[in-house]
Structure formats: structure tokens, C-alpha cells
Structure 1
Amino acid sequence: MRYSKDHKQDTHARIVKRASVRLREKGAHGVGVADLMKEAGLTHGGFYAHFDSREALVVEAFGYAMDRSTARWRKLAAELPPAQRLAAIVEAYLTPSHRDDPGRGCVVPALGAEIARESPKTRKAFAAKLAEMIEMVAEQIVDAPPEAARRQAIATLSTMMGTLLLARIAGHGEMSEEILRAGREAALRAGHSAVKPQPSRKAAAD
């Protein structure tokens, strides 16, 4: 049976979407190609009609997940005044519901350590998506020069993602909640620090 071009594209997209969830749930090496294809309603033998290799699927699945996160942040930011956007992103990210649903959450806390051990090609693709995330967050930092906003965006994202990882490690009790609270406070400080240049010693003396 012949299928249309749209059918193949739809099937490809379905595989990537399912893979992005399963990889975040089970880890980059915790689920096999056969399982991923089965979940997409396809046979193992059909895999290479869509992807050159398992690595190609992993790269696409990573990219899909990161694009989804960035798109959610953009949508949230678009609904708010500029001064409220960064705080809204932080608050929406560091929640118990996000902690408890890695399969549909941010890919960096779920797979970051594994990605760091992947091939240069995979790391390069991941780094490109991470750069897009940084740029998007930097755009939400008002009243700061571009370089300062970028540094603050990196610090904010690092705090957010590290906090979520630690909260997951701690489980679902009071310690995990404490980590989320502390992380929210720290991420907001990182996002709003040093937005104005400090006066020189001479200017201060004058």
C-alpha cells in the first residue's frame, strides 16, 4: 500500500513526539527502537524509512522537546507585561507538577547528564537549542544591556534546571518542596541582579 507524503510526515512527527516523552521518562538509553516504534503503532522494520539511525531520532526528539518548552515560555510571556514575564516563567517552571511529570517537562533536567556523554553531533544539536532558550529568556530581562541580560539568562536557567533536578532527586516530601521554594527565589534574584551599571569609585567619591 502506498501512502501520501503527508501521511509519512504525520507518522514521522508522531514517532518523534512519542520518543520525546519516552526518552525523558526512561533516559536516552532506557528505551529501545522497537519499543518506540510499537508505541507509535509501527513495526521495528519501518524505522529506517523515517530515520537514518537511532541517533537521528534522539536528536530530533531532543529538539522537539526543547522547542516545546521555548514555545510555552513565549506564549506565557506574550500574555503579560514585560516586567512580569521572567517571574512568570520561573514560577511556571519550578512547580510540583513539573517535578512529577518529566515525560512532558523540560528535557535538560531529565536528560542533561546523558546528553553530555553523547556524540559531538548530538551535543552540538542540543547546544543550538539551548542557545535559543537562553536568547528567549534574555529577551524577558528588562532594563539590562544585551550582554548583561544574556549572563543573567544563563544564571536563571541554570538555577531553574538545577533546582528541578534536585527536587526530583529529593522526591515528593518537604525537602523537595523546600528546594523548589529556594530555587524560585534564587532564580528570580539571578534574573534581576546587576541590571544597572555600578558607578565607578571616582564617580562615587564625587
Structure 2
Amino acid sequence: MRYSKDHKQDTHARIVKKASVRLREKGAHGIGVADLMKEAGLTHGGFYAHFDSREALVVEAFGYAMDRSTERWRKLVEDMPPERRLVTIADSYLTRAHRDDPGHGCAVPALGAEIARENPKTRKAFAARLEQMIEMLADQIPDVPRAAARKQAMATLATMMGTLVLARIAGSGEFSDDILDAGRDAVLGTPSGVKKVAGKKAAAPARH
């Protein structure tokens, strides 16, 4: 049976979307091609009709997940005053809901350590998306020279992502919650020990 070009594009997009979730849940090497294709409702044999290699799918799935995160941040703050945008992004990021749902969360804390061990081509693709994230965050910092805004955006992103990694390592108890609170304090510039609403109560998981 011959399929239309639109059908192939839709199928390709479905594979990438499913793979982006499963890779964030299981890790870059925690799930095979056969399982990824099964998740998308397809056979293993159809894989190479869409991708040249497993690496190609991994790179595309990572890019999809990171693009979704960046777009979600844009939508979150588009109607907010400039001075509230960066803190709003950070506050929405450092939550129990995000910690407990890596499959639909930010790809960097879920997969960054693995990507650092991949080949240069994969790292380059990942780094390009990471730079886009940083530029988007820098855009949310008003009245600051661009170089300073980029530096602040890098520090904010590193703190957010590092906090989430440590919180996931710690599990889902009080210790993990304290790590989220400490990271939020560091990013938002609030006094240590002051509990924020977002840290106390898990909102509905954000789909990235």
C-alpha cells in the first residue's frame, strides 16, 4: 500500500513525539528501537523508512522535547510584565509535578548527562537547542546589557536544571522537597526557608 506524503509526515511526527517521552523516562540507552516503534504503533521494520539511524531519532526526539519546553516558556510569560517573566519560568519549573514526571518534562535534566557522553554530532545538536533556551531566557531579562542577560540566563538555567536533577535523585520525600525549595530560593532571590506555594502543592504536570 502506498501512503501519501502527509501520512508519512504524520507518522514520522508521531514516532518522534512518542520517542521524546520514552527517552526522557528511560534514558537515551534505556529503550530500544523495537520498543520505540511499538510505542508509536508501528513495526520495527518500518523504522528505516523514517530515520537513517537510531542516533537520528534520538537527536530529533531531544530537539522536539527542548523546543516544546522553550515554546511553553514563551506562552507562559507572553502577557506578563518583563520583570516577572524569568521568575515565573523558574517558579513553574521547580515544582513537584515537574520532578515527578520526567517523561513530559525538560529534556536537559532527564538526558543531559547521557548526551555529554555521546558523539560530537549529537552533542552539537543538543548544544544548539540549549543555546536557544538560553537566548530565550535572556530575552526575558529587561534593562540589562545583552552579555549580562545571557550570563544571568545561563546561571538561572544551570541552577534550575541542577536543582531538578538533585531533587529527582533524592526521591519524592521531604528531603527532595527541600532541594526544590533551596533551588527556588537561589533563583528567585527569596530568603532561605520560606516555603513557596508551588513547592508545597503539586500542580498538574506541565506537558513539554
In structure 1, what is the Cα distance between the partners aligned to 2:153 and 2:36? 35
SS of the counterpart of 2:137?
A: helix
Structure 1: distance between partners of 2:171 and 2:128: 31
Unaligned runs of 5+ in 1: 190-206
TM-score (norm 1): 0.91
Larger Cα Rg: Structure 1 or Structure 2?
A: 1
2:127 maps to 1:112? no
Match of 2:53 in 1: 53
Check the 8 A contact 1:94/1:184 in 2, yes or no: yes
Q: By how many angstroms is 1:181 displaced? A: 0.7
User: How far 1:85 sits from its partner (Å)?
Assistant: 0.6
Report the counterpart of residue 13 of structure 1 in structure 2: 13
- Which structure has the highest helix share of the two? 1
Taking only the aligned residue pairs, the percentage that are identical comes to 79
Alignment of 1:1-206 (within 5 A): 1-189=1-189
Give the partner amino acid of 1:129.
Answer: R
How many residues in Structure 1 have an aligned counterpart in Structure 2?
Answer: 190
Runs (4+) off by over 2 Å = none
Higher relative CO (Cα under 8 Å, sequence separation at least 6) belongs to 2
- C-alpha distance after superposition, 1:56-98 (max 9, x if no partner): 0000000000000000000011021111111110010000000
Task: Name the CA distance, whole Å, in 2 between partners of 1:131 and 1:188.
Answer: 22
How far apart are 1:37 and its partner, in Å? 0.5
Distance, in Å, in 2 between the alignment partners of 1:172 and 1:79 is 33
Deviation, structure 1 residue 158: 0.1
Q: Structure 2, unaligned stretches of length 5 or more?
A: 190-208
TM superposition shift of 1:39? 0.9
Q: Matches of 2:128 and 2:77 in 1, distance apart? A: 22
Tell me how large the CA RMSD over aligned residues is. 1.0
